[in-house]
A and B are shown apart, each in its own frame.
Chain A
Amino acid sequence: MKDLTIRNLSKTYFDPYAGTNVTAVHDVSLKVEQGEFVCIVGPSGCGKTTILNMIAGFIPYTGGEILVGGRPVKGPGPDRGVVFQSFALFPWRTVLENVAFGPKMRGVRKVEREQIAHEYLALAKLTEAAGRYPAELSGGMQQRVGVVRALANEPDVLLMDEPFASVDAQTRMTLQEELTRIWQEKRPTVIFITHDVAEAVFLANRVVALSKGRVLDDIAVDLPRPRSWDALNDDARFKELSNRVLQLVRSA
């Protein structure tokens, strides 16, 4: 696991319908320490997914720089694991093979990579599902696979793009609790994108509020771990932090 530095990052693209240049991300700087869990929160269209896609290397940036462990980002790579809102599992591979995919690409032998995959599946309580295909699983289970598939490749940074936005509310709460548990166990560096303020505060060490492509504020979350919804639902500090972030995002 390594740290991530974003300096004066910006993204401008030409909008053929408007006929003008549009600035999606404007001069964003952010430092994420090794083992930190940072949530970037903001409304739709604030540029948060664009930032994540640039860190992942899926789209090029037009200004500034992104450094992972000191090295500049050029295109996608296994040092940055990604968890997608749409899960993006390989339907033609079993759950086990999905999780073993990253190690396979690294050239890890079959026996070893399946052992790694089993280990991570156990972490997400998915041992029973190892031999099944993604289409046979519920949305919540599919995203558990998505999370451990990215983790099993031991990336320096884990990038999560609204990963729980397409599962039902109860499952989402369970997944959020599991994610904090897994994070405490493995301590990956995480950048988590969401529009859900409560989710951001629940998960993060730090919440970065974003609007119209600019960073509004950077708020430290000092809630104790392990975190659970039962404990935090009525927690005064949790409410206070959530309200602060919410005011910030809404005022912009």
Chain B
Amino acid sequence: MLWRLSSALWFCAPFMVLLVLWAVFIPYFDVNPRLFPHLSSVVQAGIEGVEDGTLIRHIGASLLRVAVGTVLALLIAVPLGVAMGVSPIISSFLTPLFRFFSVLAGIAWIPIATLWFGYGFGAITFVIFNAVFFIVTYNTLLGVSTIPLQVRNAAASLGAGRWAMLTEVLLPGALPNIVTGIRTGLGFAWRGLIAAEMIATNVGLGYMLFVARDFYRTEVIVLGMIVIGVLWLLLDRLVLAPIERATIERWGMVQRA
């Protein structure tokens, strides 16, 4: 517990230094707030955003898109990745397509997505879906194909049928790669989300940033940037990392980073 607390403090220390420098030097050099805001005005913007609900609304919209896009992507990517992992034919047929589309995955889809789904939720969720889908599929494929043949043979000789092989061996065996895929995929998705929201919607953190620029409200821009970074860190530290600790690290399948 003490160890946890001290590592959390150690993690926060460089940010504290940055905040102090900011609080001291921006007023000291009398920087124009149209170029960079004071710390106090960013805090003020944060409080106002929470009080009038706009910040919460933007965060909610962004998180909902990420959640829906990611869950949809996982539902399709994991079974497809497993199918590719066990069938050399499916795998060799689809791999060139995956190479091609994983380069495209991201905001390159935005123009056509807005034509298909219109501005807003659908188009942006589609971008998230793309970012997560290709990476998770590829990692699942990789995970399944790296399960030692002997482990699969062991399960078969202990009486595992097709279904048991899938749920007892292939999925848990591929889990380290699947988790890595989700972490990387979500990282791309989160970046893609902000970019997409600047173009194709009227609510969300990306939109909040982009509109604030029109009014020279640098405190809102910086606030948005901080929120985007902090949300990602929280997501990674409080959701993804604990999943990893409870499963694949416990099993000794990856070393603690």
Contacts and interface: CB of A to CB of B under 8 A. Distances in A.
Interface stretch (B122-130, B132-140, B146-154): B146-154
B253 interface: yes
Given A88-B150, A92-B251, A81 B169 contact: no
Interface in A107-137: 133-136
A102 B151 contact: no
A76 interface: yes
A240 to B, nearest CB: 36
B160 A105 contact: yes
Interface in B151-165: 151, 153-161, 164
Nearest to A86: B150
A133 B251 CA distance: 6
A80 B157 contact: yes
Contact of B247 (A56, A57, A77, A92): A92
Interface string B28-48: 000000000000000000000
Q: How large is the interface on A (under 10, 10 to 19, 20 to 34, 35 or more residues)?
A: 20 to 34
Interface string B241-257: 00000011011110000
A202 interface: no
A78 B250 CA distance: 29
A58 interface: yes
B175 to A, nearest CB: 7
A138 to B, nearest CB: 13
B120 interface: no
Given A102-B158, A153-B159, A134 B151 contact: no
A53 to B, nearest CB: 8
B150 A90 contact: no
Nearest to B149: A58
Contacts of A136: 252
A122 B153 CA distance: 26
Given A90-B169, A90-B172, A81 B157 contact: yes
A187 B157 CA distance: 20
Contacts of B168: 90, 101
A58 B148 CA distance: 14
A56 B152 CA distance: 13
A58 B251 contact: no
A135 B253 CA distance: 8
A82 B150 CA distance: 10
Interface in A86-109: 86, 88-92, 101-102, 105-106
B175 A92 contact: yes
A146 to B, nearest CB: 8
Given A88-B153, A90-B151, A92-B173, A81 B252 contact: no
Contacts of A106: 159
Interface string A192-211: 00000000000000000000
A149 interface: yes
A183 interface: no
Contact of A105 (B148, B158, B252): B158
A76 B158 CA distance: 8
A238 interface: no
Nearest to A85: B150
A86 B148 contact: yes
B252 A91 contact: yes
Contacts of B169: 90
A60 B247 CA distance: 36
A91 to B, nearest CB: 5
B157 A57 contact: yes
A82 B160 CA distance: 13
A76 B156 CA distance: 6
A150 B150 CA distance: 14
B157 A101 contact: no
B248 to A, nearest CB: 8
B171 to A, nearest CB: 9
21 contacts: A57-B157, A58-B153, A58-B156, A76-B157, A80-B157, A82-B153, A84-B150, A84-B153, A86-B148, A88-B148, A89-B154, A90-B169, A91-B252, A91-B253, A92-B248, A101-B155, A101-B160, A102-B159, A105-B159, A133-B252, A153-B158
Interface of A: 56-58, 75-78, 80-82, 84, 86, 88-92, 101-102, 105-106, 133-136, 149-150, 153
- Nearest first, the 7 A-B pairs at minimum CB distance are A135-B252, A78-B159, A105-B159, A76-B156, A88-B150, A92-B172, A88-B154
